Amino acid sequence: MPRGCQYDALISYDEPWVLKELLPELEGEQGWKLCLHHRDFQPGKPIIDNIMDGIYGSRNTICVISHRYLESEWCSREIQVASFRLFDEQKDVLVLVFLEEIPTHQLSPYHRMRKLGKRRTYLSWPRAGEHTVVFWQQLRLALETKDSPAEENPIVSGVEAL
């Protein structure tokens, strides 16, 4: 882990999927240290400060996007801060994971996210009945190659593009 980074990744989410699927795979199987707001944010500290500290104290930010995610004000702030860091540091530190298909018109209010999704690393969680092995391999690859400049990293896509 690079100096100054307390976590491998901050997870921006509003879904039980993170606790059921992502956390056991990345912390359990991989042994990585994730920053989760319900567990790692400091009580009594302003939320925006916790968000800033979590994102800048992590090598990466993984935004787990669903319809509920798009409705959350704090998730919106997290992706804004992560996007700013991506452009400020010129490192591809942001991974988008889409849990469900979201029509483009629903992403319009989140134009930054849509633009990032077209140019940056994103993955789609497999539909019911599809194998998850490739998804986990691609996510590990995306997280392990994040120290190179943003324009050098390939897009890793799951089932569908935006």
**Rounded to two decimals, what is the model's pTM?**
0.77
Percent of the chain scored above 90 by pLDDT?
Answer: 32
* DSSP helix/strand/coil, 92: coil
Percent of the chain scored above 70 by pLDDT?
Answer: 77
pLDDT of residue 19: 92
CA-nearest of 32, 29, 33, 52 to 42 is 52
Beta bridge partners of 97: 64, 123
- Say if CB 139 and CB 104 are below 8 A apart: no
> Which is more confidently placed, 14 or 81?
81
Query: What is the mean pLDDT of the segment spanning 10-27?
Result: 90
pLDDT tens profile 82-94: 888 988 888 888 8
Q: Locate the domains of the chain by residue range.
A: 7-152
Q: Does domain 7-152 have CATH number 3.50.50.60?
A: no
- Say if CB 123 and CB 162 are below 8 A apart: no
pLDDT band at residue 43 under the 50/70/90 scheme: very high
The Cα 85–Cα 95 span in angstroms is: 13
* DSSP helix/strand/coil, 35: strand
* DSSP helix/strand/coil, 7: strand
Q: Per-residue pLDDT for 78 more than 60?
A: yes
Secondary element (H or E) of residue 107: helix 104-107
